């Protein structure tokens, strides 16, 4: 099955052509294009939804054209149009969904809807020829808007078993980067860079590790913002102290994520763990996921850095792996608050 996939849930306009053969097959990417309106949001230090939507509109047709060209295919070769239905910013989602609907009608190809959160987990099928996850499995999505843990009984039967009560881990990185380093969105890379200046030095814990001893799979990251803000009000906030706080923030978030994943493993017998989402690009988190893999002797599937942040290849991968059913164009709408 060969599909054209479209992803427009936030500030990225992305399209990809991917092919794969169902649940036991890896996914091959024939072309994969992304443009982002991020530079336009630097001044506002956060994404302005209307600005993002307007940029989506400008970029969507050129990016689809480019993707089709680079894949070396014609619309006739495509078996379906896959699109992110939600969750995300409504203005941005609408551009992708309405373009996909129009294209589906024009070229007479099935329209296949995908949940953006699931797509982050299915990025683990991209390019991994002899190395696919086994089920039952645990999935952890750690992105700018979501922090969720799901239990997969099988590849297409899952349930939500835990997540954050308030802010997502990515949002915590973003807001704290703004408070601490005056860094624009996305703040995760800025915190990671500042942390590297501290390196492996032994360091006392400064910030709280919210809910780390709680026996549930719930998390909470909003209190960390206040804790960081309070630390910045203390007098000795020089460059080194900022780096120390960035390092401790990254460590606090990763410790909570790893301990909740470990707790989920205690509660559920599984054969693999899948992670996905922008925060998975964080190298400290990746290192600790590898340590967890070793300690618990269970394979942890981590997407290539390129497929951690929003992209269309993961959206296409989800549809080809799950054999997503076609949806009637007239029954299909963007859903900004779509759940898992
Ligand atoms: O999955 P994603 O690209 O978009 C959403 O679906 O939300 O995730 C974006 C999030 C942002 O919060 C960003 O700060 C975070 O991923 N992120 C990182 C890193 N790179 C991106 N967080 C920590 N360390 C990173 N290196
Ligand atoms: Zn995402």
Which residue is closest in CA terms to ligand 1's atom 21? Answer: 278
- Average of per-residue pLDDT across 299-317: 98
pLDDT at 43 over 90: no
Query: Which range has the top average pLDDT, 38-42, 62-66, 182-186?
Result: 62-66
DSSP percent split of the chain into helix, strand, coil, nearest 5: 45, 20, 35
For ligand 2, a single-atom ion, the residues with CB < 5 A are: 143, 310
Q: Is the CB of 33 under 6 A from ligand 1?
A: no
What interhelical angle do 49-71 and 90-107 show, nearest 10? 30
Q: Is the CB of 88 under 6 A from ligand 1?
A: no
Kindly state the tokens that stand for 202.
């032994």
pLDDT for res 190? 98
Q: Is the CB of 196 under 6 A from ligand 1?
A: no
pLDDT at 199 over 80: no
Only one residue has tokens 């294009």, namely: 33
pLDDT for res 244? 96
Nearest one of 250, 311, 315 to 115, comparing CA atoms: 315
**Three-class SS of residue 274?**
strand
Beta strand residue intervals within 121-245, DSSP E: 137-142, 147-154, 157-164, 218-219
- Which of 37, 170, 285, 338 maximizes ligand 1 atoms within 8 Å of its Cβ, making it the mutation to test the pocket? 170
pLDDT for res 44? 87
At 35, is the pLDDT very low, low, confident or very high (cuts 50, 70, 90)?
Answer: very high
- Average of per-residue pLDDT across 7-35: 94
The sheet carrying 137-142 orders its strands as: 218-219, 157-164, 147-154, 137-142, 272-276, 300-301
Do the beta carbons of residue 85 and residue 55 sit within 8 Å? no
For residue 279, which ligand has an atom nearest its CA? 1
Distance, CA of 318 to CA of 5 (rounded, Å): 10
Nearest one of 121, 169, 119 to 143, comparing CA atoms: 169
- pLDDT tens-digit map of 211-249: 999 999 999 999 999 999 999 999 889 999 999 999 999
pTM for this model (two decimals): 0.97
- pLDDT tens-digit map of 243-292: 999 999 999 999 999 999 999 999 999 999 999 999 999 999 999 999 99
Q: Kindly give the distance from the C-alpha atom of residue 234 to the centroid of ligand 2, in angstroms, as a whole number.
A: 35
Q: Kindly give the distance from the C-alpha atom of residue 233 to the centroid of ligand 1, in angstroms, as a whole number.
A: 26
SS3 letters for 196-224? HCCCCCCCCCCCCCCCCCCCCCEECCHHH
- Which of 186, 312, 336, 340 maximizes ligand 1 atoms within 8 Å of its Cβ, making it the mutation to test the pocket? 186
């Amino acid at each position: 099955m060969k599909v054209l996939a479209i992803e427009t849930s936030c500030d990225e306009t992305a399209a990809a052509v991917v092919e794969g053969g169902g649940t036991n097959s890896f996914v091959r990417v024939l072309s994969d294009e992304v443009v982002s309106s991020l530079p336009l949001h630097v001044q506002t230090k956060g994404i302005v939804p209307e600005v993002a939507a307007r940029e989506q509109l400008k970029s969507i047709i050129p990016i689809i054209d480019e993707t089709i060209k680079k894949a070396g295919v014609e619309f006739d070769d495509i078996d379906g149009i896959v699109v992110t239905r939600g969750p995300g910013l409504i203005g941005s989602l609408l551009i992708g969904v309405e373009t996909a609907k129009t294209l589906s009608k024009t070229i007479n190809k099935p329209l296949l809807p995908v949940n953006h959160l699931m797509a982050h987990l299915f990025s683990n099928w991209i390019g991994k020829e002899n190395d696919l996850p086994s089920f039952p499995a645990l999935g952890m999505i750690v992105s700018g808007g979501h922090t969720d843990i799901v239990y997969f009984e099988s590849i297409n039967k899952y349930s939500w078993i835990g997540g954050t009560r308030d802010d997502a881990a990515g949002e915590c990185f973003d807001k704290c980067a703004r408070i601490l380093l005056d860094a624009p969105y996305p703040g995760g890379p800025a915190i990671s860079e500042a942390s590297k200046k501290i390196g492996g030095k032994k360091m006392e814990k400064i910030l709280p590790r919210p809910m780390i001893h709680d026996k549930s799979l719930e998390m909470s990251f909003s209190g960390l913002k206040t804790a960081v803000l309070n630390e910045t009000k203390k007098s000795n906030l020089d460059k080194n102290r900022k780096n120390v706080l960035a390092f401790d923030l990254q460590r606090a978030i990763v410790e909570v994520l790893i301990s909740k994943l470990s707790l989920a493993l205690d509660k559920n017998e599984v054969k693999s763990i899948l992670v996905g989402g922008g925060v998975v690009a964080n190298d400290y988190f990746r290192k600790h996921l590898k340590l967890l893999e070793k300690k618990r002797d269970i394979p942890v599937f981590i997407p290539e850095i390129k497929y951690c942040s929003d992209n269309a290849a993961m959206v296409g991968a989800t549809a080809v792996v799950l054999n997503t059913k076609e949806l009637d164009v007239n029954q299909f709408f963007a859903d900004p608050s779509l759940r898992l």
